[in-house]
């Protein structure tokens, strides 16, 4: 069992100190506060190296997150009390590829179900379901209508090996 899978499991246990799990993430350079809500079967690849997730984030089931992903506020020049940022919702079956940056503005920023945020993309707005977003700033480049839903095959999510 990979350490990141262990840390995600320990987060669910009431008797495990939240600070201990946070420090486990921090040892690998991952900043994942205990207030982040995770769904089932979330995969954080490459030990979560460089992953930074905002405290007001909800992550759905079967989401895949690669190294260097950031979910953070776009209006960091304002104090948190003056910001109207509402948090992030990453829905089921989404993929945040290596180096993707999702920066939330006003309200809640939503990454739709089954959406892929390409490597090194900078997403500044909410997405729809089953889309592909790429570029700086990220733009919708494709639809994923041909994907078998809910996205599971015998080899893992979307046919790729997903071992940690």
> pLDDT tens digit string along 72-129?
998 888 887 788 889 999 999 999 999 999 999 889 999 999 999 999 999 999 999 9
Q: CB under 8 Å to 92, separation ≥6 — which residues?
A: 39, 60, 61, 62, 63, 113, 114, 150
| Phi, psi (deg, nearest 5) at residue 7 | -65, -40
Specify the higher pLDDT residue, 96 or 149: 96
Measured in residues, the chain has a length of 164
> pLDDT tens digit string along 4-52?
666 777 766 766 677 777 777 777 788 888 889 999 999 988 888 899 9
pTM listed for this prediction: 0.77
- Cα separation of 143 and 66, whole Å? 21
Q: In terms of DSSP bridges, do strands 152-153 and 156-157 run parallel, antiparallel, or are they unpaired?
A: antiparallel
**6 in helix, strand or coil?**
helix
Confidence (pLDDT) at 59: 96
Confidence (pLDDT) at 164: 38
Confidence (pLDDT) at 115: 96
Confidence (pLDDT) at 161: 46
Confidence (pLDDT) at 148: 61
Confidence (pLDDT) at 162: 45
The answer to whether 125 touches 140, Cβ cutoff 8 Å, is: no
Q: Is it the case that residue 1 has pLDDT exceeding 50?
A: no
For the chain, what is the total number of helices (H) and then of strands (E)?
2, 16
> pLDDT tens digit string along 133-146?
999 999 999 998 76
Residue labelled with tokens 């840390």: 7
Specify the higher pLDDT residue, 58 or 28: 58
């Amino acid at each position: 069992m990979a350490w990141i899978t262990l840390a995600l499991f320990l987060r669910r246990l009431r008797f495990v100190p939240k600070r201990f799990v946070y420090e486990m993430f921090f040892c690998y350079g991952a900043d994942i506060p205990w207030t982040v809500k995770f769904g089932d079967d979330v995969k954080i690849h490459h030990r979560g190296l460089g992953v930074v997730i905002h405290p007001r984030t909800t992550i759905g089931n079967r989401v895949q997150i690669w190294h260097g992903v950031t979910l953070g506020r776009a209006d960091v020049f304002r104090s948190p009390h003056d910001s109207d940022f509402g948090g992030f919702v990453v829905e089921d079956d989404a993929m945040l590829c290596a180096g993707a940056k999702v920066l939330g503005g006003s309200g809640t920023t939503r990454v739709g179900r089954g959406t892929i945020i390409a490597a090194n993309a900078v997403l500044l707005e909410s997405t729809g379901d089953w889309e592909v977003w790429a570029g700086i700033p990220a733009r919708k480049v494709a639809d994923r209508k041909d994907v078998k839903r809910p996205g599971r095959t015998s080899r893992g999510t979307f046919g790729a090996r997903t071992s940690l």
